[in-house]
Amino acid sequence: MLGAVGKGQPQSAVQPQAGSDGAVRLTFFALMLTLMLGGNTVEAPPHAGEAYNAPPRLPADRKLSADSDAYRAARNLLPQRFIDLQTTRFVVISDANRHWTRHQAELLERTYHQFERFTRRLQLRRMPLRHKLVCVLFERRDDYQRFAQSHDSVTADWITGYYSPKQDRVVFYNLQSSTVTTRTRGTVEPTTAQMLALDRHGAPARPLSQLTETEIIRPTRRRDRHQAPSAPRGINDRSVKAATATTVHEAIHQLAFHTRVESPWIENPLWISEGLATAFETDRPNEAFGPDHDYAPRREQFQKLMRQNQLLALRELVKYTRMPDDSDETVKVIYHQSYALVTWMNRFRKTQLRAYLRALRSEPPGRPTADRHLELFELAFGDVDRLERAWLRYELDALDLDR
């Protein structure tokens, strides 16, 4: 999940602007008590922050320094009890137990290697990292919440982790040690009841860009309500798997912008930004993962939507840079459909996918129109309707084979 851009933090350079309405990039995960990941993130454009300053040309094999504006800003906000754990490409600032801290650090490095494998196979040039990327870990959920609310404007108390692009850090807490997980371990009823109560105070039907952060998060919480009762295994096991997927997803957002695989200067289409992040989700990080490996929870949900004829027209999907509305169904469809589209593109349209990402990076800073996004898509992939028929024909054939 990407946290809201914090205010009043020091910045090191003139910031790129992707629009004038003050919207911030948000990606919210409601993964605490469900594995089925029903449309986890909500996006608005990246505007500013250290991750987006123009990088110098650096040798890819240079030893990275832990020192950065992002590191100093995080360190200045945290108590002295937090210790640093450095890996080759990350600096983890943590007060969590040593075992989980090391596990998270290793997972971040593992995610980098899988991200690097993807870009290498796609023959996509990426910028080298300028410094080690920052991750903050909390042992206690209440400490995490205070930090998220005070410094990154993340106010919902059930969010388990996020990426703040302006402050350029990923932040998580130890889900296994949280009182919520302990209290509800082995049952889903308390969480379901909480979600039902939240539904009774449903968010107003307004454009997503006009909603408060809490209202933006609600649709994801409602998706959890629909999935939680059918969960086949214990809360603890699911929470570990969900936390793994969350960590990987957020790290991919951080890596994609630092390496300029995604352009930080424009409003990127949801299908490519969230499609890439969801395509890396995994609950088996010791195995290869990424767009060339299916993630069963996503795949199953996409196939369900396809069977129910609930997919969006591709010519509409590729235009969206923000959610067209805040309904459960819209958010769910966009994220699962984007996942499936990116994994298919990676398998059967590698050359075009590479050209498309390069074209987005070549766009002038700002907010391309919906028509411009459709134009860029068709310049790379050809006629959108023809491509849609080829894609869905493949997906339907694969669905028939699975029966």
pLDDT of residue 224: 37
**CB within 8 A of 49, min separation 6: which ones?**
5, 11, 15, 164, 165, 166, 167, 168
Per the structure, how many domains does the chain have? 1
C-alpha 165, offset from chain centre: 11
Nearest to 160 by CA among 177, 168, 150, 151: 177
pLDDT at 303 exceeding the cut of 80: yes
pLDDT at 201 exceeding the cut of 50: no
- The answer as to whether 85 is a domain residue is yes
**Mean pLDDT within 272-298:** 96
Q: What is the dihedral of CA 149, 155, 156, 161, to 10 degrees?
A: -50
- The answer as to whether 39 is a domain residue is no
| C-beta separation of 90 from 131 below 8 A | no
Quick one: what percent of the chain has pLDDT higher than 70?
69
Least confidently predicted of 144-158, 335-349, 360-374: 144-158
pLDDT of residue 57: 55
- At 104, which CATH number? 1.10.390.10
- The answer as to whether 7 is a domain residue is no
- The answer as to whether 42 is a domain residue is no
pLDDT of residue 177: 77
The 8-class DSSP code of residue 228 comes to G
- Pairing of β 133-138 and β 161-164: unpaired
- The answer as to whether 355 is a domain residue is yes
- pLDDT confidence tier of residue 402, bands split at 50, 70 and 90: low
C-alpha 15, offset from chain centre: 22
More confident residue, 222 or 124: 124
pLDDT of residue 58: 53
Q: How many CB atoms lie within 10 A of CB 24?
A: 21
| Beta partners for residue 162, in sequence order | 171
Report the distance separating Cα 355 and Cα 279, nearest Å: 19
What is the span of the domain harbouring residue 69?
A: 50-402
pLDDT of residue 217: 30
Angle at 235 between CA 233 and CA 237, to 5 degrees: 70
The 8-class DSSP code of residue 247 comes to H
pLDDT digits (tens, 9 = 90+) for 209-236: 222 333 223 333 333 333 333 333 455 6
Report the predicted TM-score, pTM, of the whole model to 2 decimal places.
0.75
pLDDT digits (tens, 9 = 90+) for 239-254: 888 899 999 999 999 9
* Tokens standing for residue 152: 């990154």
% helix / strand / coil in the chain, to the nearest 5?
50, 5, 45
| Beta partners for residue 137, in sequence order | 94, 172
How high is the mean pLDDT of the chain? 77
pLDDT of residue 48: 37
Report the distance separating Cα 113 and Cα 119, nearest Å: 10
- The answer as to whether 271 is a domain residue is yes
- The answer as to whether 304 is a domain residue is yes
pLDDT of residue 11: 28
pLDDT of residue 17: 30
* Tokens standing for residue 63: 């030893």
- The answer as to whether 24 is a domain residue is no
- Pairing of β 90-94 and β 133-138: parallel
Report the distance separating Cα 40 and Cα 278, nearest Å: 9
Which residue is it, tokens 């006629």? 383
